[in-house]
Amino acid sequence: MKRQAEAKLPTDWGEFKIIAYSDNENDWMPHLVMISENTDLSQTVNVRIHSECITGDLFHSKRCDCGKQLDAAIKYIHENGGVLLYLRQEGRNIGIINKLKAYNLQDKGLNTAEANIELGFPADGRDFKIAVEILEELGIKSINLLTNNPEKISFINDSSIQLINRIPLEIAPEKENLDYLKTKKNFFGHFLNNI
């Protein structure tokens, strides 16, 4: 995992720097990092570790809360300083094709975890090793993490990175994603108070 390229990135939210990380300089899908201007990486840094969800992040799908979490995280990071890690872990690491197959199974009554298992995958195929590697490469030693996911918390707690605070990133449920959020809370143990 290496820093392959970086550039200034002005956005609707404000000024960021974007960095692409990959083993291979010709990788078309490198992990991406957005750093808000004036972020001091030697202090405790606000960090969002976001797993790619093209349907939610780009097409504003209502099946999940990913797109709204991404927008809220970028806004928070712009306002308070911080770093967004955009990890290419589409569909909790099963890829977009399998995620669409999982959606069909969910339409037949399976929940998000059961659908993954029915397709022969773990309920959640991610780990956050890459996130730790990237944070280390950036020289970050201490973070506040924007998440509701207890797995991310324990992964960071077992790493070289010091976790100071969890910043909740809870989105108001809608009827289309209520079952999805219930599974997040009841099966995966996410800290969700509005469900």
> Is 22 marked within a binding site?
no
Residue owning tokens 């997040």? 184
Phi, psi of 96 (to 5 degrees): -70, -35
Alpha helices in the chain (DSSP H): 66-80, 90-93, 95-107, 112-118, 129-137, 150-157, 178-186
| Distance from C-alpha of 183 to C-alpha of 112, rounded to nearest angstrom | 7
Closest CA to 190 of 46, 66, 47: 66
- For residue 45, the surrounding DSSP H or E stretch is strand 45-51
166 scored as a contact of ligand GTP (CB under 6 A): no
Cβ-based nearer residue to Zn ion, 97 or 164: 97
Least Å distance, CB 93 to Zn ion, is 13
- Window 29 to 68, contacts with Zn ion (CB under 5 A): 53, 56, 64, 66
Q: Counting contacts by CB under 6 A, is residue 67 touching ligand GTP?
A: no
Nearby residues of 101 by Cβ (< 8 Å), 6 or more positions away: 119
Residue among 76, 149, 156, 166 that touches ligand GTP (CB under 6 A): 149
Looking at residues 75 to 94 of the shown chain, list those that interact with ligand GTP (rule: CB under 6 A).
Answer: 89-92, 94
Out of ligand GTP, Zn ion, none, what residue 52 binds, judged by CB under 5 to 8 A for its kind, is ligand GTP
Residues forming contacts to ligand GTP in the complex (CB under 6 A) are 51-53, 64, 66, 69, 89-92, 94, 99, 102, 112, 116, 147-149, 152, 169, 184, 190
Residues forming contacts to Zn ion in the complex (CB under 5 A) are 53, 56, 64, 66
